[in-house]
Amino acid sequence: MQNYRFLPQDIRVSAGDTVTWTNNDKTAHNVVADNGDFDSGEISPDGTFNYTFEEPGLFNYSCTIHPGMIGSVTVE
């Protein structure tokens, strides 16, 4: 998370991989799956959130604090 964006916005991983989001902004963000599978809670500046993707699929997510921040994880 940097400049109110997820960088990269869209990624591909393998089933079983763990994705780490790091908040590089000076304000809090969160990472919330559209389907409800994960919710980071508030991530303070310099904080991180990890999630392991066990099943294949497309997982769209956003920062509900800053709704313009969106991203996706494609799990193969």
The annotation places the binding site at: 29, 63, 66, 69
Q: Which residues are annotated as a binding site for Cu cation?
A: 29, 63, 66, 69
Measured CA distances, 33 to 26, 36, 53 (Å): 22, 5, 12
- Beta bridge partners, 55, equal none
25 and 2 Cβ atoms separated by less than 8 Å: yes
